[in-house]
Amino acid sequence: MADKVSRPNIGWIKTIRKGLGMSSEQLAKKLQITRQSVLSIEQREKNGSITLKNLELAAQAMDMKLVYGVVPKDGSLDKLIERKALQLATEIVLRASDTMYLEGQGNSPERIKKAIKERAKELKEEMPKKLWD
């Protein structure tokens, strides 16, 4: 579900502040900073240059809490590992297949596909560091 949420164009702080009907002056007072500093924080969030600490402080000032996370693009770590293992297995098997073909010992597409699947399974179990190169 978290991977379906995207940051609003104007940033979370400004979006939530406006949704609450809170002025930048009111937020500034809660943060004990100037209104201009609040606008600067909102701009830095919009630009992607805000610190987590400033996000957390702004959230707390609006009676919110900051939730921070990193979510796999594939939906789960298992799917990510499976995709990377399949990519590496394909490279390994096709490299070996090309060498065999040059030596007159080519394999059928079905056999290559099976070898890729088997090698991917092995890589997933082994989890070698080269999976992330």
Residues 29-52 have pLDDT tens digits of 999 999 999 999 999 999 999 999
Q: How far is the CA of 38 from the CAs of 9, 45, 46, 61, 99, in angstroms?
A: 17, 11, 12, 11, 63
Domains and CATH numbers, the chain: 2-61 (1.10.260), 77-132 (no CATH)
* pLDDT confidence bin for 101, thresholds 50/70/90: low
- Give the pLDDT band of residue 106 (cuts 50, 70, 90): low
